[in-house]
Amino acid sequence: MKRFIAGLISFIYLFVATPVLPTAEAARVAITAPSAVLLDGSRGSFLYAKNSNSKRAPASTTKVLTAIVAVEHLKLNQVITIPKFAESVEPSKAYLRQGERYRAKDLIRAALIASANDAAEVLAVAVAGSRSKFARLMNKKARAIGARNSNFIRPSGLPAKGQYSTARDMAKIMRYAQRYPFIVDALKTKRTSVRSLTGRKIYLKNHNKMLWRDPREILGKTGWTRRARHCFVGYVNVYGRIAYIAMLGSTSLWRDIKRLVDYKFGKNLTKVAINKKLWSTAATRKIQKALKRAGYSPGSIDGKFGPKTLKAIRGFQAAKGLKQDGIVGPQTYGRLKPYF
């Protein structure tokens, strides 16, 4: 176990020791977004910054702050009756109907997962009595978080005169949001459904395509309007190394996100490379023997993380209900211990 901890510390150090990317160098990263940042999750320093204080329309990334304020003012199981105005809110929406009743947690899920504008604005009225009063709560919270160069008007992020934020501020808001597991769990969800108290089901699909396109954990909230273009706020978790990302005004969002994450974390952090960082040849043989005793053939007991060993690890992880990433991290190692 000491060997694992030492290896893990060494591996994390490789990331922590990376210097902050100055703005001049950031300009060389080929992304279309005119404003973007990457914020270190542990230190709070900026790893990347491109026009980070430029005031731009945040579109539906605003809903992250809306969710924070809602979680802090409502009980998750609180019942909310849908008012008439919800039916006239512009898409995207969950198509809530006047008089229906939903739990607050389901309206928050609809706002974060499916970017439902009607759900976000209903939550605002449930919290503050009106959307304008809720906007005051949003701006007060933003300032408390340290996002002082923003002004929020609509809880949905739909266009409004005088509404703006910055990539720097949105990254700070996302960093704060991670203290609420409910919000993080919603952002992780690919597909789900919610029900009214009378049983009407609404299906939700996450707008974040990175959940399907990238093996790394890239969670977040998308946004788009004609004025704002494509926006994204979220975080990336690469084997325990967390950074918060905010991007405003992109014309090629998914490519931009991937390029920025690749630039910081590297394209070639393969499962073999990660395992080799964590385990010596002798320790790898021990892992292979444990896998074999558990009923998962790793191939030759040679101290190497070859294709058969990676397949055995994933099979073992699947059987134990673990994330099937092929990495022998703390949880997988702990489950293997009885077979040593």
Domain parsing of the chain, residue ranges: 59-265, 271-339
Instruction: Identify the pLDDT of residue 247.
Output: 97
Residues of the chain with pLDDT > 70, as a percent, come to 90
Instruction: Identify the pLDDT of residue 19.
Output: 39
Residue 45: is the preceding peptide bond cis (ω within 30°)?
no
* Mean pLDDT value of segment 184-205: 97
pLDDT band (50, 70, 90) for residue 11: very low
Instruction: Identify the pLDDT of residue 57.
Output: 97
User: If DSSP codes are grouped into helix, strand and coil, which group holds residue 253?
Assistant: helix
Query: Domain 271-339 belongs to what topology?
Result: Muramoyl-pentapeptide Carboxypeptidase; domain 1 (1.10.101)
* Mean pLDDT value of segment 264-293: 82
Query: How much is the CA Rg of the chain, to the nearest whole Å?
Result: 22
Answer whether 123's CB lies under 8 Å from 113's CB: no
Q: How many CB atoms lie within 10 A of CB 77?
A: 9
Span of 38-42, 94-98, 217-221, 285-289 with lowest mean pLDDT:
38-42
Higher pLDDT, 290 or 46: 290
Check pLDDT > 50 for residue 22: no
Answer whether 245's CB lies under 8 Å from 37's CB: yes
18: phi then psi, degrees, rounded to nearest 5? -65, 125
Answer whether 225's CB lies under 8 Å from 158's CB: yes
Q: Which residues contact 60 (CB under 8 A, 6 or more apart)?
A: 92, 115, 117, 156, 157, 221, 222, 223, 224, 231
Instruction: Identify the pLDDT of residue 10.
Output: 44
Helices of type H across the chain: 2-16, 23-26, 62-73, 104-113, 117-128, 131-145, 167-177, 181-188, 210-213, 253-265, 271-278, 281-293, 307-319, 330-336
Measured in whole angstroms, the distance separating CA 229 from the mean position of its chain's CA atoms is 20
Q: Using the 8-state DSSP alphabet, how is residue 226 labeled?
A: T
Distance CA 90, CA 126 (A): 19
DSSP letters for 80-107: EEPPGGGGGSPSS-----TT-EEEHHHH
pLDDT band (50, 70, 90) for residue 163: very high
Q: Which residues contact 29 (CB under 8 A, 6 or more apart)?
A: 21, 48, 50, 259, 260, 263
Distance CA 104, CA 89 (A): 18
Answer whether 57's CB lies under 8 Å from 224's CB: no
Q: Using the 8-state DSSP alphabet, how is residue 206 labeled?
A: -
Check pLDDT > 90 for residue 327: no
Instruction: Identify the pLDDT of residue 246.
Output: 98
* Mean pLDDT value of segment 38-67: 93
Q: How many CB atoms lie within 10 A of CB 267?
A: 10
Closest by CA to 244, choosing from 61, 31, 25, 55, is: 61
Measured in whole angstroms, the distance separating CA 11 from the mean position of its chain's CA atoms is 22
Query: Domain 59-265 belongs to what topology?
Result: Beta-lactamase (3.40.710)
User: What does the mean pLDDT of the chain come to?
Assistant: 90
Instruction: Identify the pLDDT of residue 26.
Output: 56
Check pLDDT > 90 for residue 205: yes
Span of 168-172, 178-182, 270-274, 280-284 with lowest mean pLDDT:
270-274
Instruction: Identify the pLDDT of residue 161.
Output: 95
